[in-house]
Structure 1
Amino acid sequence: MQRRHFCLFLSTIGLAPTLALANEDYPARAITMIVPFGPGLSTDAIARYMADEMGKIVGQSIVVENRAGAGGTVGSQVASRATPNGYNLVFVSNGSHAGNVALFKNLPYDPIKDFTPVGAISAAPWALAVRPDLPAKDVPEFLRYASERPGAVTVAHGSASSRACVALLETKGGIDVNDIPYKSLQPAMIDVEAKRLDACFLPLGVAIMAHNAGKLKVLAITAQKRSQLAPDIPAMGEYLPGYELVSWIGIMAPAGTPSDIVQKLHSAMATVLSNPKTVEKLAGFGHDELALDPSQFAELVAADIGRWKQLVHDANIPQQ
Structure 2
Amino acid sequence: MTRWMKFAAAMLCASALPALAQPYPSRPVSIVVPHGAGGANDAIARPFSHAIGARLGQSFIVDNRAGAGGNIGTGYVARGTPDGYTLLLTVGSSYTISPFLYKAVPFDPLKDFEPIGMVATAPYVLVVNPALPVKTVQELVTLARSQPGALHMASAGNGSLDHLLGEMFKSAAGVDMVHVPYRGASAANTDLVSGQVSVTFTSWPSVMSFVNAGKLRLIAVASPARSPLLPNVPTIAETVPGVSAISWYGLFAPAATPKDVSAKLRTETAALLKDKAFQETLKAQGAEAATVDTARFSEIIRTDLQQWARIVKATGAHVD
Provide TM-score, normalisation by structure 1. 0.86
Residues 244-255 of structure 1 mapped to structure 2, 5 A cutoff: 244-255=244-255
SS at match of 1:132: coil
Distance 1:247 1:23 in 2: 39
Query: Which amino acid is 2:39 matched to?
Result: L
Shift of 1:284: 3.2
Give me the identity figure in percent.
33
Shift of 1:221: 0.7
Query: Which amino acid is 1:319 matched to?
Result: H
Q: 1:9 aligns to what?
A: none
Q: 1:268 aligns to what?
A: 268
| Aligned partner of 1:86 among 84, 89, 105 | 84
Shift of 1:276: 0.8
Distance 1:132 1:69 in 2: 31
Deviations along 1:26-55, whole A, 9 cap, x unmatched? 222211111112222332111100000011
Shift of 1:143: 2.2
Shift of 1:299: 2.4
Q: 2:29 aligns to what?
A: 31
Q: 2:124 aligns to what?
A: 126
Distance 2:178 2:225 in 1: 27
Question: Is 1:73 equivalent to 2:63 in the alignment?
Answer: no
Provide closer, same or farther for how the CA distance between residues 274 and 224 of structure 1 changes in structure 2, counting only shifts above 3 A: closer
Distance 1:22 1:200 in 2: 52
SS at match of 1:242: coil
Structure 1: unaligned runs, 5 residues or longer: 1-14
Deviations along 1:85-112, whole A, 9 cap, x unmatched? 2111111222122122333343221111
Shift of 1:289: 2.8
Provide closer, same or farther for how the CA distance between residues 19 and 267 of structure 1 changes in structure 2, counting only shifts above 3 A: farther
Distance 1:244 1:63 in 2: 33
SS at match of 1:126: strand
Shift of 1:257: 1.4
Shift of 1:24: 4.2
Distance 2:144 2:18 in 1: 62
Question: Is 1:147 equivalent to 2:145 in the alignment?
Answer: yes
Shift of 1:153: 2.1
Shift of 1:129: 1.2
Distance 1:68 1:182 in 2: 15
Question: Is 1:228 equivalent to 2:228 in the alignment?
Answer: yes
Kindly indicate whether the alpha-carbon contact (under 8 Å) linking 1:30 and 1:61 is maintained by their aligned counterparts in 2.
yes
Which is worse superposed, 71-80 or 19-28?
19-28
Provide closer, same or farther for how the CA distance between residues 267 and 143 of structure 1 changes in structure 2, counting only shifts above 3 A: same
Provide closer, same or farther for how the CA distance between residues 304 and 21 of structure 1 changes in structure 2, counting only shifts above 3 A: farther
Query: Which amino acid is 1:140 matched to?
Result: Q
| Aligned partner of 1:58 among 53, 56, 68 | 56
Q: 2:311 aligns to what?
A: 311
Q: 2:182 aligns to what?
A: 182
SS at match of 2:196: coil
Q: 2:237 aligns to what?
A: 237
Shift of 1:273: 0.7
Deviations along 1:37-81, whole A, 9 cap, x unmatched? 222233211110000001112222111122223332222122211
Distance 1:20 1:187 in 2: 51
Question: Is 1:300 equivalent to 2:289 in the alignment?
Answer: no
Distance 1:256 1:209 in 2: 40
Residues 186-197 of structure 1 mapped to structure 2, 5 A cutoff: 186-197=186-197
Distance 1:55 1:166 in 2: 38
| Aligned partner of 1:136 among 131, 134, 147 | 134
SS at match of 1:128: strand
Query: Which amino acid is 2:218 matched to?
Result: V
Distance 1:282 1:59 in 2: 21
Structure 2: unaligned runs, 5 residues or longer: 1-12
Provide closer, same or farther for how the CA distance between residues 215 and 19 of structure 1 changes in structure 2, counting only shifts above 3 A: farther
Kindly indicate whether the alpha-carbon contact (under 8 Å) linking 2:28 and 2:61 is maintained by their aligned counterparts in 1.
yes
Provide closer, same or farther for how the CA distance between residues 105 and 151 of structure 1 changes in structure 2, counting only shifts above 3 A: farther
Query: Which amino acid is 1:139 matched to?
Result: V
Provide closer, same or farther for how the CA distance between residues 183 and 260 of structure 1 changes in structure 2, counting only shifts above 3 A: farther
Deviations along 1:190-215, whole A, 9 cap, x unmatched? 22112222122222244333212011
Shift of 1:117: 1.2
Shift of 1:23: 6.5
